[in-house]
């Protein structure tokens, strides 16, 4: 029986694993161009009249995501804001893909509403939290790209 030369085998195995990882990641988009596109989308997004941006938003870019999220205060009712964005975004080629009431940790309705739009590989979400939630904001708007594993 032929004995396996362990150090050489480990070296070849590691090289193959590394090669596979490189090949699998080569077709994945780089985060910076995705973040640049998210910034472009955000710069063209109208803000509902009377909404005031407050601190607490975030920007993130990484291997599997690129997004910008900002928080706003507005006295506007959710249905008014929803209609504004639905009218504007659908004219720009975005599709309304989801509207839902988010659940709390116990699985109960929270009163927080979310609408999501999609255009190509990009998503836009608007979240409404009633003042009773006391988040310091009542609208959050995010634009992003998220890697989808096939």
| Burial class (CB within 10 angstroms; exposed 0-12, middle 13-18, buried 19+) of 47 | middle
Instruction: Quote the mean pLDDT of the chain.
Output: 83
Give 98-143 pLDDT, tens digit per residue: 999 998 888 888 899 999 999 999 999 999 999 888 899 999 999 9
| Cα distance from N-terminal residue to C-terminal residue, the chain | 43
- What pLDDT was estimated at residue 150? 56
**Residue among 32, 43, 51, 55 nearest 145 (CA):** 32
Check: CB of residue 102 under 8 Å from CB of residue 114.
yes
Which tokens hold the place of 63?
């291997």
Predicted confidence (pLDDT) per residue in 126-137, tens digit: 999 998 888 999
State the pTM of this model.
0.76
pLDDT in tens, 19-45: 344 344 444 455 788 899 999 999 999
Average pLDDT of the residues in 62-89: 95
Express each pLDDT in 45-68 by its tens digit.
999 999 999 987 899 988 889 999
pLDDT of 72 reads 97
Cα dihedral 120, 123, 124, 130 sign:
positive
Domain boundaries, the chain: 31-146
Residue 120 confidence (pLDDT): 93
- H or E segment at 2? none
CA dihedral (97, 66, 114, 100) positive or negative: positive
Could you tell me whether strands 52-62 and 65-73 are parallel, antiparallel, or unpaired per DSSP bridges? antiparallel
């Amino acid at each position: 029986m032929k004995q396996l030369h362990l150090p050489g085998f480990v070296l070849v195995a590691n090289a193959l694993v590394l090669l596979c990882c490189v090949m699998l990641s080569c077709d994945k988009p780089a985060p910076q161009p995705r973040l640049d596109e998210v910034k472009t989308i955000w710069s063209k997004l109208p803000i509902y009249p009377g909404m005031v941006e407050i601190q607490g938003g975030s920007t993130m870019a990484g291997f599997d995501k690129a997004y910008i999220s900002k928080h706003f205060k507005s006295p506007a009712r959710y249905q008014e804001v929803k209609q504004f964005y639905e009218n504007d975004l659908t004219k720009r080629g975005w599709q309304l893909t989801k509207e839902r009431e988010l659940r709390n940790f116990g699985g109960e309705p929270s009163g927080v509403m979310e609408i999501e739009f999609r255009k190509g590989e990009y998503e836009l979400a608007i979240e409404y939290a009633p003042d009773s939630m006391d988040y310091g904001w009542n609208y959050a708007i995010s634009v992003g790209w998220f890697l989808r594993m096939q």
